[in-house]
Amino acid sequence: MLTRKDDDGRGRFEVVPAIDLLGDEAVRLERGDYERVVARHADPCALARRFAEAGARTIHVVDLDGARTGRGRPEAIAALVRAAAPAAVQASGGVRAPADARALVEAGAARVVVGTAAWAAPDALATYVAELGERLVVAVDVRAGRVVARGWTAETGLTVAEAVERCASAGVPRLLCSAVERDGTLSGPNLELLADVVERSGLPVLAAGGVRSSDDVRAIEQTGCVGAVVGRALLEGTLPLSALAG
């Protein structure tokens, strides 16, 4: 689960560490640009163990090669699932059909993020809701007010409002909202975007993009998001690993 219920029944905000796979390495890209690698870690499994030992309950894994090409690597996800235990893995990248999503679940993913395939047709979301149920997370990746796909390399033609309305109407259980222009930049989150998506959708929303500090995490929590996916800030230490234990 991405949020744990406290005694009063409310979900507890969660900091979710991100591992982005490019080839055999964990990397961080700036603004989703595959030519702008701003951080590297040669051993993704060691990084997963490090995050789990620090108290992470969920680790967000993105197969960047799969996101760009549409050919996912369930075997890479399976290796990270084993390394991350007892933390759960939320897997992303390369899902273009329900069979791709099933392969990630079979690899051990607790949740599967669907982005590109979610916007392929007006009825696509319903297909993934039926396939994954509560395991589904839909990625609303935003650049210049528009939703992008295919590893953030292609426009969908959808506004944020249109995408969120599709998700709410289809019964999507939760969203991951990424501010592409801030991703990997340590420039701070797009709080206005996040608050808008939370208000429009009425769904649990995970935030991503630009997080650099504990102050940013607190500000994201104030928007109503249930958690923040964090990559570069944890790798570079501007957000301490102790934040993962919440």
- Residues involved in catalysis: 20, 141
Kindly list the distances between the CA atom of residue 119 and the CA atoms of 33, 41, 58, 71, 132, in Å, as whole numbers in the listed order.
21, 32, 26, 17, 16
In this structure, are residues 117 and 150 in contact, taking their beta carbons and an 8 Å threshold?
no
Q: Which of 235, 236, 238 is nearest to 17 (CA)?
A: 235
Strand partners, 142: 147, 179
**DSSP H or E run through 216:** helix 214-222
Burial class (CB in 10 A: 0-12, 13-18, 19+), 73: middle
Side chain identity at residue 116, one-letter code: T
**DSSP H or E run through 167:** helix 160-170
